[in-house]
């Protein structure tokens, strides 16, 4: 792999897939990928998958459109080359891109209680890569087509045969871990699992609830199961049979009732649940997850930018706790190694479809139809 180090790589015509306009199918293009600069790493992506976050930015609803760009942030690959100053990784290492980042130098990284590294602002919000410690707001891209820069996405851009990532946005993993399954761990799955295990912290034998039974919600349910919860109530419009595989013991479909779902759960449980994790991003679901529960509510779903969450202060005076979570809920290395070491977290259960990269738009179709959990996209090397 080192034969390409320090050289511009022209990705094969099959990949990357470039989003040129909001809501339009991705286009397979030949893209030049520049060598990594200081504190950057160039990664050969082997597997990637589609997450609702990719769709959210692809649709560009309620936000400033940024195009053309290369989407993708759930992936697994191998380090191809490293830039100046990179000492933690070397060519051949197996890695997962992590869009939240961990620079290890800012106040957030030095805190045991925060996961909001400054790299999030530097890389996510700028839609580009910036030289180490650069205050510049200029777009700094490693992707180009005929000399025209292509925007990065969340500092990862994994819908590409090769991508360039800040070293702080990569987690080294055990080379024995199967890349085709751990690639789904780098965002949604670990978010749901971590929100339950690290934030909600269910007690053994507890009764808990999960709102939204997509991939993130089922990972949250899996976290409750691993933690020893005896009753896990899933709230969604379907997927109960699938949810049983992830520990959900009871199911509530809001459409089956003519009253608020929190009242239904309160009646089922004799007053409320111990922990409630909300994974939909729907404001009404957030209110339901927080109210009428006994102890801790955790918000995971991402609402639209203009949404407002309202609840009575009395809910807090009654010793209810509401928490939020930012991907993984612990430092990225701790979370990844922790999740990979928990044998009960059967990641293969989340991969329900697989397509070659040339058919990546099928992954979008599957998500819009609500079919499956995660669609694995295999690079065609």
Q: Is residue 50, in this structure, part of any structural domain at all?
A: yes
Asked whether residue 98 falls in the same domain as residue 211, the answer is: no
CA dist 35 and 121 (Å) reads 23
| pLDDT tens column, 97-123 | 988 777 778 887 777 767 677 766 666
Q: Are residues 303 and 348 in the same domain?
A: no
Is the same domain home to 197 and 180? Answer: no
Which burial class, exposed, middle or buried, applies to 370 when counting CB atoms under 10 A from its CB (0-12, 13-18, 19+)?
exposed
Give yes or no: residues 179 and 253 share one domain. Answer: no
Q: Which of 347, 369, 376 is nearest to 246 (CA)?
A: 347
Go through 300-328 and write b for each residue having 16 or more CB atoms within 10 A of its CB, e for each that does not.
bbebeeeeeeeeeeebeeeebebeebebb
**pLDDT tens digits along 320-333:** 888 888 665 455 55
Residues ≥6 apart with Cβ < 8 Å to 165:
40, 41, 42, 43, 97, 129, 155, 156
In a domain, 223, yes or no: yes
In a domain, 352, yes or no: yes
In a domain, 248, yes or no: yes
Query: Higher-confidence residue: 40 or 8?
Result: 40
Q: Give 337's pLDDT tier (boundaries 50, 70, 90).
A: very low
Domain shared by 17 and 151, yes or no: yes
In total, how many domains does the chain have?
2
Burial of 137 per CB tally in 10 Å (0-12, 13-18, 19+): exposed
Rounded mean pLDDT of 212-229?
A: 93
Indicate if 298 and 371 belong to the same structural domain: no
Domain of 229, in residue numbers: 191-324
Is residue 361 a part of any domain in this protein?
yes
Q: Round to whole Å and give the CA distance between 238 and 260.
A: 18
- Is the per-residue pLDDT at 339 higher than 80? no
The CATH number given to whatever domain includes residue 304 is: 3.40.50.720
Instruction: Please state the length of the chain.
Output: 381
Residue 248, pLDDT above cutoff 90 = yes
Q: Please state, for a pLDDT cut of 90, what percent of the chain lies above it.
A: 45
In the numeric block, the tokens 């990269």 are attached to 357
- 135 found inside a domain: yes
Among 303, 324, 345, residue at a domain's last position: 324
Within 13 Å and on the Cβ side, how many CA atoms surround 104? 10
Q: State how far the Cα of 140 lies from the Cα of 343, in Å rounded to an integer.
A: 41
Could you give the CA distance from residue 214 to residue 236 in angstroms, rounded to a whole number? 9
Query: pLDDT digit string (tens) for 148-180?
Result: 999 999 889 999 999 999 998 898 888 888 888
Cα–Cα separations (whole angstroms), residue 28 to 45, 358, 360, 362? 16, 7, 9, 13
- Confidence tier at 62 by pLDDT (50, 70, 90): low
Cα(99)–Cα(89) distance, integer angstroms: 17
Confidence at residue 132, expressed as pLDDT on a 0 to 100 scale? 43
- Residues 272 and 349 grouped into a single domain: no
Helix, strand, coil percentages for the chain (3-state, nearest 5): 30, 20, 50
Distance of CA 114 to the CA centre of its chain: 17
Pairing of strands 27-28, 17-18: antiparallel
Is it the case that residue 252 has pLDDT exceeding 90?
A: yes
């Amino acid at each position: 792999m080192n034969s390409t180090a320090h050289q511009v790589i022209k990705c094969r015509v099959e990949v990357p897939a470039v989003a040129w306009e909001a809501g339009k199918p991705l286009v397979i293009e030949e893209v030049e990928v520049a060598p990594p600069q200081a504190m950057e790493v160039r990664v050969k992506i082997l597997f990637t998958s589609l997450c609702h976050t990719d769709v959210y930015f692809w649709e560009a609803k309620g936000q400033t459109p940024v195009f053309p760009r290369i989407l993708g942030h759930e992936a697994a690959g191998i380090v191809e080359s490293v830039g100046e100053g990179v000492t933690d990784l070397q060519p051949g290492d197996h890695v997962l891109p992590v869009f939240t980042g961990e620079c290890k130098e800012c106040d957030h990284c030095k805190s045991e209680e925060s996961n909001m590294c400054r790299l999030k602002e530097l890389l996510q919000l700028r839609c580009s890569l910036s030289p180490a410690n650069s205050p510049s707001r200029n777009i700094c891209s490693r992707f180009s087509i005929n000399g025209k820069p292509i925007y990065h996405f969340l500092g990862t851009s994994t819908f590409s045969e090769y991508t360039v990532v800040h070293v702080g946005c990569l987690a080294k993993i055990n080379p024995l871990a199967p890349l085709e399954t751990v690639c789904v761990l780098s965002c949604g799955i670990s978010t749901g699992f971590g929100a339950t295990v690290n934030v909600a912290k269910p007690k053994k034998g507890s009764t808990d609830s999960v709102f939204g039974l997509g991939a993130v919600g089922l990972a949250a349910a899996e976290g409750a199961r691993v933690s020893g919860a005896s009753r896990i109530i899933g709230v969604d419009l379907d997927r109960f049979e699938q949810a049983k595989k992830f520990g959900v013991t009871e199911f509530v479909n809001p459409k089956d009732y003519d009253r608020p779902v929190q009242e239904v759960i309160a009646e089922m449980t004799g007053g409320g649940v111990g922990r409630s994790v909300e994974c939909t991003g729907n404001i009404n679901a957030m209110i339901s997850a927080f109210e009428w529960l006994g102890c801790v509510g955790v918000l995971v779903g991402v609402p639209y930018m203009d949404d407002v969450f309202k609840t009575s202060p009395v809910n807090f005076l009654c010793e209810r706790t509401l928490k939020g979570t930012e991907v993984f809920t612990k430092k990225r290395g701790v979370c990844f190694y922790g999740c990979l070491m928990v044998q009960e977290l059967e990641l293969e259960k989340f991969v329900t479809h697989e397509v070659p990269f040339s058919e990546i738009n099928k992954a979008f179709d599957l998500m819009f139809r609500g079919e499956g959990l995660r669609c694995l996209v295999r690079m065609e090397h």
